[in-house]
Structure 1
C-alpha cells in the first residue's frame, strides 16, 4: 500500500516565521500566507492532525515543488516543476556525468551537460534553495513539537509518542538535505530549531563541520527512529539513518580528508545481516515498474520516494519528469505507460560501452532504445543523438496498466539494499578491516546473477570494477556524480566522455568543479557566504 498520507501534498500549508537559512528575510523564499487555506504556525498546530500533515509536507517535497503539485511553488523564481527535489537531484547528479545528457536549452542545462556551470545557474539555485526550504520546514516543526509546547496545547500521551517518531523522521530528512548540500556545495550554513526566527545571517560552516553535524544527528537517531521495517512504506526508519551514515563514511575522504572505511563496512554489514531488508529475488525490471511498491522489489527499498498517479498531481516533478523526459524519437510512449514524451534525456556512448551489448542480452540492466538513435552524440540538442533509456516504466510488472498515463505510479528507489552490497564491497577493497573479500564477492555476484551477467572471480573484484558495476546497477538513481568524485574521475582527464568540458569528444575539466558554486542569489541574500574557489 502506498503511504497513507500521500494526499497531504495538496494541503495548502505554508508556515509563517520559518527561518529560511539561505535568504534570511528577503523575498526569495516568501512564506507569508496569502489566503484562508493557509495557516500561521501557532494556529495551525492547534489541530492534532497538523503534525502528520507537516511530516507529509516534508516527504511530499521530495517529489513535488509546491502545494498544488507543480503549481504554487515553494521557491520563488522557479516553477513547481523545476523545483522538485528529485528532479533537481537528477539534474545535478546525472547530467554532468557519462550516464545522462539532456537535449533542452533551458538556461543553465547545457552548462550542466558539460560541467561549465556558473554561480548564476538556476538549477543550482534550485537545489540549494529546495534543500534549505526543507531544512526550514523541519526546523519549524521541531520548534513546535517540544514537550513544553505539546503540553501547553493539551496533546495527549499517545499522540506525543507518535510525534516523537515524527520528530526523528524530520531530523533524518533534515540530515538528508544537509548531506546533499555538503556533497554538492561543500561549505554551507547550518541552522537548527535552536536558532532564532527572524533576521540574521546564519554562519557558513566548513564541509568537515557539516559532516560532523550530520554524523552526530544520524548516530543519535538510532535511539529514536522507528525500528527497521516497522514504519509505513515510504517512511524512513533506523536503517535509512544507517544507510546515510554509511554513505558519508564511504565518502569521508572527499568530505573531510580522512578515510572512514571501517565504519562504512560495519554499518553495511549491520544493514545486510540484521535490518530485515532483503535482496529482491525478482527480475531487475520489477524494481523500476509501476507496481514496485508491491511486486517484491519493495523488499530492498530502504528509502523510496513515493509516486502515485492519482494522489500526486505533479506532471513536471519527480518520476513524472524522469519518465516523460526520457521518451522521444521513435519510442512508443504507451509502451512505457505514458501519454507522451518530452524528448530530453538520453545516455552517452561511454556508459553504453560498460555493458556487453546494447540489447540487454548479456546484462538485463542495459535497457537501451536504439531505433533511429545514434550511439554517437554529434549534437546533444537532438534527441536522436544518443541512446534512449527504458529503465523506468509506468507499466506494472505483469504488463497491466498503471492507474494513469500522465503521472506515473513508479516509486523512486533513493536507497536500496543492492547499493549497500556495493558499498560494503568498495569499503572492503579500500582496506576496511571490518570487511571480508569473500563476503563482498558474494554480494557483488548476487547482483550480477540477477542481471544475468555471470559471476566474477576474486581477481576481477577491483575498485575500477566496482565503479563500473555501480553504474550498471544504480544508473539514473542519483549517485553517479558523487561516485565519480570519490574515485577521482569526475573532473580532470582520467575519465573522458562525450561533451564533458562542453566539446563533442570530451575534455579534461578543472578539479574545482568537484564542488558546485554557491548560487549568486544566495550570496546576495546572505553576503557573509564565501564562494567556493574557482568561481570568483
Structure 2
C-alpha cells in the first residue's frame, strides 16, 4: 500500500490549532464541510495532520538545533561577527545557557504540542469513523501521540495526558510519564502494519518496537532526570534486548552497504530505515539539513545557481578529535561513514570540467579547501566545451574573493574561530536535486529510527547488563562490516560503554540523537569547545514562557523546570 496521505485533505484544512496551548484545544472552523466527503476522505483527512508537522519539527532550527547544537557534535558561532547572531540563542544553546524565551525552544515545543493536539482530534473522531482503515489509523494516531509525548518528556521532562478534547490535560513527570508512554505503545502495537504495507513514513509494528527499546534504554534518565548517576535496571535492559531482537529477527530490515545512501534523495525505500519523516517530492518537504552547514559559496546543483549553503553549524574540534584518536596515523576518511568523495577534482586537479549531469558535491565531514561550481554575477563559469567549471572556491558572495572557502578544525566563539570558513562542515543528507533555493523541496526522508541504531541499542543494553558481553562487540562489528560500498571500517577487538558511546557518534552523528546519548552516558555535564556549564538542570530545556503565560489562569498548572 505504501500510502501517502494528501496533506490538504478535509480536516487538515478545517482545524486551527493553538500553538502555545497547554490544554491542547482544537477549534473546528466548519464542521458542515465534512458532510460532502466520503468515509475514506474523512479518515485520510483525520490521520494526515497527525504526521503533517514532522518535517517542520525536524527542521534545522527546531529539534535538530536542540539535539545537536547543545552538544559536542555541533556549534554555531556568529559567522563573520554578524551572521547567525539571532540575539545569541545559538551561543547560549551550545553553552547550556538557554532561556525560556528562546524562539527555537518555543518553536520545537509548539510543533510537538500541535502534533499531540492533532493526534487527539484524530483519536476522538476515528473511534467512530466508518472507513475500513479507521481502526488502523486510530492505532497510528494513538501511537504517534505516544511518540510526540516521548519527545516532550525527553526535551522538557513532562508529558500531557488527555483523552477528552474538552478537558484540560493532566501533566505527569518521571516514572508516571514513562509508564503512560509504555502503555500507549503496547496498546497499539498489535493493530499496526509492517513496513511492506505502509512504508517507513508511517508508524509500524517495528517502529513501535524500536521506540519502546529507546524508551526502556532511557527509562532511568526519564524517571530521575537530575540524578548524579543513573541506575539502569536489568529488567529495562531485558526489554531493550527483547524489542531490538524482534526488529533484527523480523527480516524486514537490512543494513545498507552504502552508508550515504541511507540519507540520499532516493532513500524512501532504503531497507535500513524503520521510521522516517516522509519527504518525497509531492509532500512539500524541506532541504534545511542539507544546506545548513555548507558555505555560502558552495553551490551543489548545476541547474540552480541560487541554491547554496548558509555557513551554519560545524562539528566541534572535540568531536573531530574522537575520529582522529580512533584512527591514529590513518586519516579518518578511511571510514566510509566519515566522508564520500563525489567530485574527482579533489583527488585529480585535472578534472576541472564536469558535465552537469555528473556534478555532485562530496558528502560527510568536509575539511580543507573546497572545490565546486564557481558563480560569478549570478551564473556559473563554464569550460570551452560547455561543461561546468569546477575550481577552488572563495567567498565571492561576500565580496571576499581573496578569502578561500577552506574549512579549518578550529571553531569557537572568538573572532578567529567564528569566521566564514571556521569548522569542518557536515553534508550528511544529500542536497535535493530540485531545491532551487537550497532551502526548499527536500527529497531525502529524515531518519527517526534505523537498523544500525537498533543494533547499537541492543549492544548497549547487553553491556549495561554485563560489561564483558561478547555479543555486544559482535553487534557493533555487524554494523561496521555492513558498509561495503568501499572498504568497511576495521573490526573492533574489544567493547565497553565508552567505546560504544564513541561508535554511536561515528554512526549516528547529525541524526538528532546526540543530546539524549550524552545525558544517558553521563557526558552532558562535561566541557567542550565553548561549553563549561555543568548544571544538571540543563539536561532538559526550559518550558517556553509563552506556555507558562498561557496557563496563567490555572494557578500551579504549569511550573517552570528547575534552574530556569
Q: Could you say which TM-score interval applies, normalised by the shorter chain?
A: 0.7 to 0.9
In structure 2, distance between residues paired with 1:299 and 1:438:
27
TM-score (norm 1): 0.80
In structure 2, distance between residues paired with 1:355 and 1:478:
19
Residue deviations 1:178-214, cap 9 Å, x none? 000000111343223xx242xx543321222111110
Q: Greater strand percent: which structure? A: 2
Q: In the alignment, is residue 530 of structure 1 matched against residue 498 of structure 2?
A: no
* SS of the residue 1:169 aligns to: helix
Residue in 2 that maps onto 1:138: 119
Q: In the alignment, is residue 277 of structure 1 matched against residue 245 of structure 2?
A: no
> How many residue pairs were aligned?
468
* SS of the residue 2:268 aligns to: coil
Gaps of 5+ in 2: 78-83, 225-231, 339-363, 370-405
Residue in 2 that maps onto 1:437: 469
Query: Residues 366 and 427 of structure 2 are in contact (CA less than 8 Å); yes or no, is this contact kept in structure 1?
Result: yes
Gaps of 5+ in 1: 65-82, 396-400, 501-506
Residue deviations 1:450-509, cap 9 Å, x none? 45220011xx20100111100100011110000000011112xxx321121xxxxxx242
Q: How large is the Cα RMSD of the aligned pairs?
A: 3.0
Residue in 1 that maps onto 2:277: 305
Residue in 2 that maps onto 1:354: 322
In structure 2, distance between residues paired with 1:204 and 1:534:
19
**TM alignment of 1:329-478, pairs within 5 A:** 331-334=298-301, 339-356=307-324, 360-366=332-338, 367-370=364-367, 371=369, 372-379=406-413, 381-394=418-431, 406-431=440-465, 437-451=469-483, 452-457=488-493, 460-478=494-512
Distance change >3 Å, CA 515–CA 245, structure 1 → 2: same
Residue in 1 that maps onto 2:264: 289
Distance change >3 Å, CA 265–CA 476, structure 1 → 2: same
Displacement of 1:106 in angstroms is: 2.0
Return the index of the structure with the highest Cα Rg. Answer: 2
In structure 2, distance between residues paired with 1:335 and 1:485:
42
Q: In the alignment, is residue 126 of structure 1 matched against residue 100 of structure 2?
A: no
Residue in 1 that maps onto 2:390: none
In structure 2, distance between residues paired with 1:274 and 1:84:
28
Residue deviations 1:77-135, cap 9 Å, x none? xxxxxx66675111110010111122412243322122110111111111112111111
Pick the aligned partner of 1:93 from 52, 64, 67.
67
**TM alignment of 1:211-222, pairs within 5 A:** 211-222=178-189
In structure 2, distance between residues paired with 1:170 and 1:5:
15
Query: Residues 419 and 474 of structure 1 are in contact (CA less than 8 Å); yes or no, is this contact kept in structure 2?
Result: yes
Displacement of 1:409 in angstroms is: 1.2
Pick the aligned partner of 1:172 from 143, 146, 153.
143
Query: Residues 260 and 428 of structure 2 are in contact (CA less than 8 Å); yes or no, is this contact kept in structure 1?
Result: yes
Query: Residues 226 and 237 of structure 1 are in contact (CA less than 8 Å); yes or no, is this contact kept in structure 2?
Result: yes
* SS of the residue 1:468 aligns to: helix
Displacement of 1:532 in angstroms is: 1.2
Displacement of 1:381 in angstroms is: 4.7
Distance change >3 Å, CA 271–CA 447, structure 1 → 2: same
**TM alignment of 1:144-163, pairs within 5 A:** 144-146=125-127, 149-150=128-129, 155=130, 159-160=131-132, 162-163=133-134
* SS of the residue 2:334 aligns to: coil
Displacement of 1:325 in angstroms is: 1.2
In structure 1, distance between residues paired with 2:314 and 2:448:
20
Residue deviations 1:346-369, cap 9 Å, x none? 111111112246965321212322
